[in-house]
Structure formats: C-alpha cells, structure tokens
A = this chain, B = another copy of it.
C-alpha cells in the first residue's frame, strides 16, 4: 500500500479557498534582500519557484505562462529586434524571446540578483542557458528607474513581475506613472506585454486594475487569458500598444512563426491566439464594470496573508 503524501504546501488562494500541493522535496529555502524564496518539488506540478509564499511558476506548466506572456506581443510586431524585460528572474521569458530569430538584443532588468542565481542553479530547464546568449544584457537594479533613464527605443517591453502588493518589490511597476514612462520608450509599432494576475471572474480586481491603468497611457489595450493549472485557474495578461492590435488570422500567425524559426512551441499557435483574446462574456463584463486605477499614491491592496 502506498502511503499518502505527508508534507503539503498550503497555497492560500483566498480567505475561503486553499490549494494543497504535496511536497516531494524542498530543494532550496532562503531569504533575499527583497523576498523569501523557495524551490520545492511538488507531486502535482514538479519543481516550483515560490516567492513570498506564492507559487510563481511550476516546471510542468511554466510553458503556458511564458509562451502566453511573450508570443502574442512578438508575433504581432513585424520585426521585433530590441526587447526589454522587467523581472523575469527564472530566465524562461528570455528563452521564449530568443525563439524569434529577429531578436538582436534583450535588456533584462531584475532587481533581485539572488533569485536569478538560485533559478540558474535549480531551474536549468527554465532558462536553458539563455542567460549566456551574447545578445543578453542583464542588470540588477530598479527596472523603472532604468527604463526612465534609458535613451533606447524598444520594440517590445515585457513586464514579468510578482503582483502589485504594496509591500512587494514590484508595486511601482504597475502604476499609471510607470506606464507613461514605458509608453514613451516604445519604438514605432512597439508593444508592451504585462502579466496581470488571476483571471477568475470573482477575483478579477488585479486584472481589471492593470487593464484600466494601462488604458490611461496606451491607445490599444487588449486583455487576454489562459488556464494555468498550477496557479489554480485562469490567468490574465494585457497587450498594450500605441497603434498595434493583436488581430491576425490563424494562418498569418502560423506562417510568421514558421518564417522566424519558432517551431517548438507547446501552447501557442494561430488557433491558440484566437482562444486567448476571445474572452468569455462574463470576464469581459467584469473587466468593463470595474474601474479601479493604480497610481504611485494609490496602490492596489490585495491579499497578502
């Protein structure tokens, strides 16, 4: 008889909902200057990166998160060469960006050097040596300040950060003020992609606040979502641009992926693109009805238990 698992990670989704993942092994546990960090191996989703007690990504389904964050923006741009990533410590966002053979340079700014070095060691399947790519420039500083000071124009900006809780390290990269900075740093046809948190229809405050706040700075803002099992359900993203829409036919997308040599995707293709942006009616309705904005002065309070 096989015994039940005896060690469990309690992931508190909300006050009334908790997910328990069996723990097979704790590979690393520590505290960086900015957050607590753990690498645990779960029975449900393999190795997981846990920051401040929340699962950030899992070995089994990180491909869903990272492909969904990266490819809609890159494929919608005619020729993405110069890319900026805020956050992205696991290196998997970098990995996805490099699948497009048009990319000439990636500037990645993640304030937490220790997270990166722990991910490098414990999660090699995530970054797959993309940190070593000569086109990568990696900085450990405040991404907002870096971007504000930068003289470059980027084709793509990707925001791959933890949620905008006031106490967390990322909150000031989700505000109106920051989005105006980002908007100015986009080149012509530039696109920004932002992870926007839980997209379950009764927990949509974060997603809608990011969506609404982006609209104060960008002309085109398009929300989309995908199911990420290890996050406990549907997850939201936003596509933002001054002029580009994420509207392409299934065939156009598939043929552009082919041209750029993007052949090994597991989530994303033309059909998936149509799925991502066709938000079910109830999500559209809640997104429209909520109007909260995030500013430097008014953070979005979310559960931080």
Interface residues of A (CB under 8 A from B): 1, 3-12, 14-23, 25-26, 29, 40, 42-44, 50, 52-53, 60-61, 63-64, 167, 200-202, 226-227, 229, 232-234, 265-269, 271-272, 274-276, 278-282, 284-285, 304-305
Complex Cα distance A272/B225, Å? Answer: 13
Decide if B281 touches A278 in the complex (CB within 8 Å): no
Decide if A22 touches B26 in the complex (CB within 8 Å): no
Decide if B280 touches A202 in the complex (CB within 8 Å): no
Residue from B8, B44, B279, B305 within 8 A of A8 (CB atoms): B8
Decide if B233 touches A304 in the complex (CB within 8 Å): no
Complex Cα distance A224/B16, Å? Answer: 29
Answer whether A275 and B272 are a contact pair too, CB < 8 Å, given A4-B305, A20-B18, A52-B3. Answer: no
Decide if A5 touches B9 in the complex (CB within 8 Å): no
Residue ID in chain B nearest A25 by CB atoms: B29
Residue from B52, B226, B271, B279 within 8 A of A271 (CB atoms): B279
- Measured CB to CB, the closest approach of chain B to A103, in angstroms, equals 22
As for how many copies of this chain the complex holds, the number is 4
Residues of B within 8 A of A281 (CB): 265-269, 271-272
Decide if A201 touches B229 in the complex (CB within 8 Å): yes
Q: Decide if the interface of chain A is mainly helix, strand, loop or mixed.
A: mixed
Complex Cα distance A20/B274, Å? Answer: 33
- Measured CB to CB, the closest approach of chain B to A286, in angstroms, equals 10
Decide if A6 touches B11 in the complex (CB within 8 Å): yes
Residue from B23, B233, B266, B305 within 8 A of A227 (CB atoms): B233
Complex Cα distance A265/B153, Å? Answer: 45
Most buried by B among A22, A43, A267, A281: A281
Decide if B29 touches A22 in the complex (CB within 8 Å): no
26 residue pairs of the A-B complex, CB under 8 angstroms, read A6-B50, A7-B7, A7-B40, A15-B22, A16-B21, A17-B22, A23-B23, A25-B26, A60-B202, A61-B202, A200-B227, A201-B229, A202-B229, A226-B280, A227-B234, A229-B233, A266-B282, A266-B285, A267-B282, A269-B281, A271-B281, A272-B278, A275-B275, A275-B278, A275-B280, A278-B278
Complex Cα distance A132/B9, Å? Answer: 39
Residues of B within 8 A of A284 (CB): 271
Complex Cα distance A266/B289, Å? Answer: 14
Decide if B14 touches A44 in the complex (CB within 8 Å): yes
Decide if B16 touches A19 in the complex (CB within 8 Å): no
- Measured CB to CB, the closest approach of chain B to A118, in angstroms, equals 16
Complex Cα distance A59/B174, Å? Answer: 33
- Measured CB to CB, the closest approach of chain B to A185, in angstroms, equals 31
